[in-house]
Structures are given as C-alpha cells and as structure tokens.
Amino acid sequence: MIFSRLLQLALVVMALAGPSAPAFARFMQANNSFVVLDLPESFRPERRFAGFYSKEAGATIMVLDLPRNAYGQFTNRFDKELEHKGYSEVRQSKLHGRNDEHLFFFARQHTPVGQFDKYLLIIRDGKRAAYVTITVNPIEKVETPLSYIEAQNILAKVKLSNKRAVIDKLYNLTYLGLFKERNTIVGSTTIYSLKKPKEQAKSKPLFVIAPSLSQHKVADLAGTGRALMAKFSRFRDMNLTAEEQLSVDGMKGYGLSGSAIKKSSGQRVGVYQLVLANPAGGYFRIVGVAPHKKFAFFLQEFRQMASSFRLKK
C-alpha cells in the first residue's frame, strides 16, 4: 500500500469526528479489528465504524488496522501532512507508559462549530500495525470532556490481539450474484469483488457498502447523493447520466449512475451509487464501479445486489 493512500485513509479516519471522568475500565476490542483498548465505563462500542463513543466524555475513538510495514511510512512525513491539511499545534512525543514502537501525535482542528482536539497513536508488533484516533468534540456540551491525560492513559494501554474481533454488521445481502465479500475496513465498510476476476483486467469491478458515521436524519436524499458522487476522491470528471427515487426494504433511497475518469490510471469507469435513509438515522451508501465498456452489464448486477439489501432486526 503506497503512502499516499495510507495517509489519505488515516486522515479520513481522523476527520470523522464524533462527539470523563473515567469510571471502571474494561478491555474492549473494536468491531472487526485486532485493536484492544482499556476503556472507561462510559465508552460504548459503535456498529457504524471500528471504535467507541462516550457521550459523557464528548469523545469518539476510531481504529484502523494496517499492515505491519505501513508503520514506517508514518515516521517522517505525518506531522507535516497534518499541518498541510490545516491542523494546528501539531506535536509529536513519546507516550508515557509505552515501551514499544509507537508514534504519538496531538493536533487541533478548527472548524465553524468549534475546536476539535485529536490524539493519534500508530503502533506495531511483530505481525501488524494499527492507527488509533481519539477526537474530543466541542459540539457535545459536556461538563467533563475527556482530558489530555485521560486520552494519553487510554492510548498508553492499547494492545493488538492475535485474533480479529467478530464482524457485527447492520445488514446483509440476499443476492451476491457474481460477487463475494472480500474484506471489511474501518469496522463497517464492506468490499465485494468478483468471485473469478480476470487477472489481465486493468480495473476490476467492485461493490462497496458503507454506513454513514453521522446519525442525523437525511432531509434531502437527492442532494446528499449528488454531493457524494461529486466528492469521489479517486475519480475526476464525474458525469451523471441517470437518477431515480426508489425504496429498498422499506427505506427511501436515491440512485445515481454516471461515468468518470480514474485518477490513478486515466481509465474511464462507470459508477453506480444508492443512498438509503437509515431509519435509525444517517444513511447507507452503496457503490458499484466497473470499467466503462462493461458497465451496462454490471450496472444490472449492482442494482440487483443493492435491491437485496436487508437491515438486520
């Protein structure tokens, strides 16, 4: 995995801000992750991402599992990249209580709604690496927000398990067709790929499902869908060709399809996206991508897979 993609994913995890006096701590493993944390009682596991949330502390913890060799790619440039992305007061230091290989950063993000404090830890052992972010959210008006010392204490006890935690997804698909589930990243984003891909293909079709981190009700599905299509980081020159309102498993949805240019290869691809309003708040984003020449065929597969989406009761 090249550094630019790792860094981009790490910064995305860092930017997904969620909203203590610690009580009785207990070890908890993040969803679909090797990362184990010793957390105050107020923190609860999240199903929308790999991590935890505490309303009382106004804090969100997110984890990202990485290959072991990814650790070295953060050692020289990460603080500069944080500053380049607009974070201020970036400080790197050793984390008291850890004697292993680790990188610890503190940074602040200034937004129209207030200042977010970020605590970042990158660690590795003999088999794997991980990236852990604690965000203290100013939107949550709490009496005792998680302090610098409390955040350090949590990160000082982070460990890596030999076994990945069981995936607890919010949904399932009743139709997979030519695809099979490949892996899950950030605890909740699931990637599906062809069962028998052609190795010579420059760009293989992919199908991805990701629940939003926000639980706010979506008032404008069409506007949200168009905005998400316009913000694909890996594509340029997005051209929408079709839009439709529909319903899946009782949920309102808005589907879009179009074509774009893949930045890394210059190849034209077809893109399908369905945004479903989650009854519990937020939305599910379903995306299918295939080479432009074969997109008409795979679009039918993508639509059938999306229509088989079912929420778990």
Q: How confident is the model at residue 144 (pLDDT cuts 50, 70, 90)?
A: confident
Domain that holds residue 69: 3-160
Q: Which of 22-26, 130-134, 261-265 has the highest mean pLDDT?
A: 130-134
My answer on whether 152 and 7 are in the same domain is yes
Q: How confident is the model at residue 200 (pLDDT cuts 50, 70, 90)?
A: low
My answer on whether 77 and 115 are in the same domain is yes
**Letter for the amino acid at 277?**
A
My answer on whether 145 and 226 are in the same domain is no
Residue 106 placed within a domain = yes
Residue 211 placed within a domain = yes
C-alpha distances in Å from residue 167, one per residue of 73, 129, 187, 215, 291: 28, 19, 7, 20, 30
My answer on whether 155 and 175 are in the same domain is no
Residue 38 placed within a domain = yes
109 vs 14, more confident: 109
- The average confidence (pLDDT) of the chain is 85
Q: How many CB atoms lie within 10 A of CB 298?
A: 23
pLDDT of residue 280: 85
pLDDT of residue 1: 38
Min mean pLDDT across 53-67, 177-191, 232-246 is at 177-191
* Structural domains of the chain, count: 2
pLDDT of residue 10: 54
Domain boundary among 95, 129, 160: 160
Min mean pLDDT across 171-185, 186-200, 266-280 is at 186-200
My answer on whether 14 and 143 are in the same domain is yes
Sequence-separated (6 or more) residues with CB below 8 Å from residue 10: 64, 74, 78, 131
Q: How confident is the model at residue 178 (pLDDT cuts 50, 70, 90)?
A: very high
pLDDT of residue 16: 45
Candidates 307, 302, 274, 304; CA nearest to 288 is 302
| CA distance linking residue 275 with residue 284, whole number of Å | 6
3-state secondary structure of 246: strand
pLDDT of residue 176: 94
Q: How confident is the model at residue 187 (pLDDT cuts 50, 70, 90)?
A: low
Q: Which long-range contacts link 110-117 to residues 24+ away (Cβ below 8 Å)?
A: 110/86, 113/138, 113/139, 114/138, 114/139, 116/17, 117/148, 117/151
Whichever domain contains 306, its CATH number is 3.40.1000.10
| CA distance linking residue 24 with residue 219, whole number of Å | 39
Residue 165 placed within a domain = no
pLDDT of residue 167: 66
Min mean pLDDT across 6-20, 94-108, 136-150 is at 6-20
Candidates 147, 181, 186; CA nearest to 66 is 186
My answer on whether 150 and 214 are in the same domain is no
Residue 56 placed within a domain = yes
pLDDT of residue 183: 73
Candidates 137, 153, 164; CA nearest to 56 is 137
Q: How confident is the model at residue 20 (pLDDT cuts 50, 70, 90)?
A: very low
Residue 166 placed within a domain = no
12 pLDDT higher than 50: no
Domain boundary among 108, 135, 160: 160
Segment 284-302 shows an average pLDDT of 95
166 pLDDT higher than 60: yes
- Which two tokens mark 278? 């989650």
The model's pLDDT over 103-137, given as tens digits with 9 standing for 90+, comes to 999 999 887 767 889 999 999 999 999 999 999 97
Segment 13-21 shows an average pLDDT of 43
C-alpha 199: how far from its chain's center? 28
C-alpha distances in Å from residue 22, one per residue of 2, 41, 56, 147: 38, 7, 10, 10
My answer on whether 146 and 195 are in the same domain is no
What percentage of residues in the chain have a pLDDT greater than 70? 87
